[in-house]
Amino acid sequence: MRTVLEVADLQVHFETARGPFKAVNGVSFALHSGERLGLIGESGSGKSTIALAIMRLIKPPGYIAGGRILLDGTDLLQLDQEAARTRRLADVAMVTQGAMNALNPVIRVRHQLLDGLEAHGVHLAKNEVDEWLAGLLDSVGLRPEVADLYPHQLSGGMKQRVCIATAISLNPKVIIADEPTSALDVVVQRRVMQTLRKVQEQLRAAVILIGHDMGLMAQFADRVAVMRAGQIVEIDDVRAIFARPQHPYTRLLMESLPSLDQRDSLLRSGPIARPAAEVPTP
Ligand SMILES: Nc1ncnc2c1ncn2[C@@H]1O[C@H](COP(=O)(O)OP(=O)(O)O)[C@@H](O)[C@H]1O
Ligand SMILES: [Mg+2]
């Protein structure tokens, strides 16, 4: 298996009055091409900070205090701002819980999607645009007509699909999904996760899924890393983590699932058929 992303001894600090706070304190892991890694851990354990570091989006008072983030051998931490910007979306893309609310309400979906391309210097010919948009929307289970709608005309699930479409528009090698469905209801969550899984398989992109829903993790992830206080305390195959959690904190997380039977059925159910295209609700 080819390693696409390697994070080595990553340190991210936040400057505080009492000195640096180590939000990420020596995190290392490797991601294989096409692999789905789950990143779990309590709120404040540093999950989103890792995501932002990989995206090169850590802002003051935060700073990267050490480590390497190798994407296909290039250290993202050594790139200047402009090179880092070009790599975002093109190589590593992120979908977040807040992304769907960050869609500009007065810009039609078509322009939201095309703007991302153009920011990366990709200009489609007029006669290619509609076909490209239709293909991209279809891959996230949306009809071509959605291109001409405004975000306020879309349901939460549809908005998050538009965000996934944006994320995959330049065929990234790595997709980071930071609690992408936390703001959605359970049924829509499942469908959006199925869509994410389908597109990552098509693109053969690796995914880091951040969250604390163990049920979603069991169905989605190949491997799971468990974080606590800025460190990975356990990382293993999803089945091994569920069957034999080693770290006391991981065991505690497992206890949030009612029974062993439930863990089993979560692992068995696996991916589900492709969701039907969602139509806009008036
Ligand atoms: N802008 C910031 N300034 C100061 N501390 C921050 C900032 N952003 C995050 N932190 C701290 O870093 C830690 C990790 O946060 P985060 O990565 O968002 O956790 P998670 O995503 O696991 O909930 C938290 O303790 C948080 O308080
Ligand atoms: Mg977070």
pLDDT at 268: 63
Q: What are phi and psi of 35, to 5 degrees?
A: -80, 150
What is the reported pLDDT for 273?
38
Residue indicated by tokens 């692992």? 267
Structural domains in the chain, CATH included, are 37-45+82-269 (3.40.50.300)
pLDDT of residue 18: 95
| pLDDT at 262 (0 to 100) | 61
Separation of CA 44 and ligand 1 centre (Å)? 5
Query: To test ligand 1's pocket by mutation, which of 45, 58, 97 has the most ligand atoms within 8 angstroms of CB?
Result: 45
Quote the ligand 2 centre to 24 CA distance (angstroms): 12
Residue 270 has pLDDT above 70, yes or no: no
Report which ligand 1 atom has the smallest distance to the Cα of 178: 21
Cβ atoms within 10 A of the Cβ of 204, count?
A: 11
pLDDT in tens, 44-59: 999 999 999 999 999 9
Enter the tokens of residue 40: 């779990």
Per residue in 191-211, pLDDT tens?
A: 889 999 999 999 999 999 999
SS3 of 85, please? helix
How high is the pLDDT of residue 111?
95
Supply the residue whose CA is at minimum distance from atom 11 of ligand 1. 23
Identify the pLDDT of residue 272.
41
- AA identity, residue 207: V
The response to whether residue 14 sits with its C-beta less than 6 Å from ligand 1 reads yes
Q: Is the pLDDT of residue 280 over 70?
A: no
- Mean pLDDT to the nearest integer, 137-146: 96
The conformation of residue 81, written as its DSSP 8-state character, comes to H
Q: Which has more pLDDT, 271 or 235?
A: 235
Examine the pLDDT at 116 and tell me if it is beyond 90.
no
Amino acid (one-letter) located at 50: I
Is the Cβ atom of 44 under 6 angstroms away from ligand 1? Answer: yes
180 lines ligand 1 (CB under 6 A): no
Peptide bond into 282 cis (omega under 30): no
Instruction: Name the pairing type of β-strands 3-16 and 231-237.
Output: unpaired
Residue 229 confidence (pLDDT) above 80: yes
Residue 264 has pLDDT above 70, yes or no: no
pLDDT for 213-223, tens place per residue?
Answer: 888 888 899 99
